Amino acid sequence: MKKLDGKTAFVTGSSRGVGRLVAVALAEQGCSTVICHGRTEEACQATAQDVVNAGATALIVAGELSDPAQVERIADRVLEMGGVDILYNNAAIQQGWHDNLEEHTQEEWARIFQVNVFALVRLTVKLVHHMRERKWGRIVNLTSGIDKTPQLAAYGASKWAVDKWTDDLASELKGSGVIVSRLDPGWLSTDLGGPNADNKPETVLPGALVPALLADDAEGGQFFRAQEHREYQL
């Protein structure tokens, strides 16, 4: 029997990249249902097929995290599907590289924070109630090791906000059976990370699954780096 047998997982931004890898890996680790997310249903079809091939039921919820109204609809749709045991907040967007501070705009910061922070928080707030009722849940928030990079200040600040939110949420959920963690997937050669990144996307596994597989007595708010867990035994 696998640790995640019978669990339902929802992975945001799982139409490609890290999200797609994680969605399939969760199915391989016993999740009975994996809810895939992307901007459109068509974009999620390949991931959904991979999930089915891995032995789980695949459901799709489409919507733009850049639109607060659509975020609400995404959460409501997931609840209509029965809620989730695992919320994997993977989706994020990057900004343009700015060599001068004057190039940073309020509009860009607002767009980055809407997707990377506000949508993540709102989905968590709406979906965690179901986990608390069941007295079991895992929430994984993707963060970043980015540091002292003013050229990407909005993105970096959004990930610091995710870190703070995770710390506060861990305190709120202590003793509830719901464990929230942070995962740094590393600098990856994805559409987000670019072609010059240090690591291939596949290097996030098995480390990206560690926060979802934590023992029930594990401490909340932990920080994990995916590439530091390459020897983790699934």
Please identify every residue annotated as catalytic: 155
**How far is it, in rounded angstroms, from Cα 44 to Cα 36?**
7
Cα dihedral 139/76/144/19 (nearest 10): 90
- Cβ partners under 8 Å of residue 36, min gap 6: 11, 14, 15, 23, 44, 47, 48, 51, 58, 59, 60, 61
**How far is it, in rounded angstroms, from Cα 23 to Cα 50?**
9
Residue 20: phi and psi, rounded to 5, are: -65, -45
Distances (CA, A) of 43 to 32, 36, 79: 22, 10, 22
Measuring CA to CA, which residue among 52, 61, 62, 60 is closest to residue 31? 52
